[in-house]
Copies of this chain bind each other. A is one copy, B any other.
Amino acid sequence: MDQSATRRVGRPPGSSREMLQEAAAELFLEQTYAKTTIDQIARRAGVSRNTFFNYFHAKSDLLWVEVDSALARLPQALADADADADADAQRSVTGAVRAAVLDMAGGLDPSRVPWALTQSELMGTAGDLAESALSRFRSAASLLSVFVARRTGLPADDLLCWSFTMAALAAAAAAARTWAGSGVSRGTLIPYVDTALSPVCAGFAPVLDRPPASGNIEIARR
């Protein structure tokens, strides 16, 4: 698991990853994302086209570097929510999800807005942009839904679990969209996500949260 210091065998990697990101950022500004080819990015970064695929699975990954690092916090945020729940048993499921998503939102730097959000506004549907977006949405949704299912005791494929997690993430995505569109005066993402997500949690709380003061562990099968 520990592969931080020791792991110096084989050819050392070049400084390619950052070079590729910088080159891509320049090209996305000069021309748009759609009319930027992988060849151009790799050539400007001084590496081969195939080397690009050693660092990014697809061209669209370059749009989501900030989002991916924020999404990486989700498992830990959920684990923290679990720990808090152990100490504070009456914490609700919807509240835990809300806290985790807000924690995720805190991982986005207001000065480093992901390319995915700016470029999607600029040009309607950039093809693989949509695909990559839904890919992130899916992974986050599957993580959240298993958390919700375990907390509520509902089966993993229950309709309420899925509708809640997808609605919550969709609201968060809408918040991120308007946040990215709010010029330079935008602050943190957190208040945006908060106002978008709170109604969703409030709506699902009556049907998902177990009665707080009751020791009855029975789960209401819909």
- Interchain CB contact under 8 A, B162 and A177: yes
Picked from B130, B166, B174, the residue with its CB within 8 Å of the CB of A173 is: B166
Asked if A74 is at the interface (CB within 8 A of a chain B CB), the reply is no
Picked from B159, B164, B192, B206, the residue with its CB within 8 Å of the CB of A192 is: B159
Asked if A135 is at the interface (CB within 8 A of a chain B CB), the reply is yes
A113-151, CB < 8 A from B:
124-125, 127-128, 130-131, 133-135, 138
Bound-state CA distance A181–B157 (Å) is: 10
- Interchain CB contact under 8 A, A159 and B199: no
Query: From DSSP, what is the main secondary structure of chain A's interface residues?
Result: helix
CB distance from A140 to the nearest CB of B (A): 12
State the copy count for this chain: 2
Contacts of A131 in B (CB 8 A): 125, 127-128, 130-131, 134
Picked from B160, B162, B174, the residue with its CB within 8 Å of the CB of A163 is: B174
Bound-state CA distance A62–B177 (Å) is: 30
Q: Which of A127, A170, A200, A202 has the most CB of B within 10 A?
A: A170
A153-171, CB < 8 A from B:
157, 159-160, 162-171
Bound-state CA distance A133–B132 (Å) is: 12
A188-203 near B? 1/0 per residue, CB < 8 Å: 0000100111011111
9 additional contacts (CB under 8 A) given A163-B200, A166-B170: A125-B134, A163-B197, A166-B173, A167-B170, A167-B196, A201-B203, A202-B202, A202-B203, A203-B204
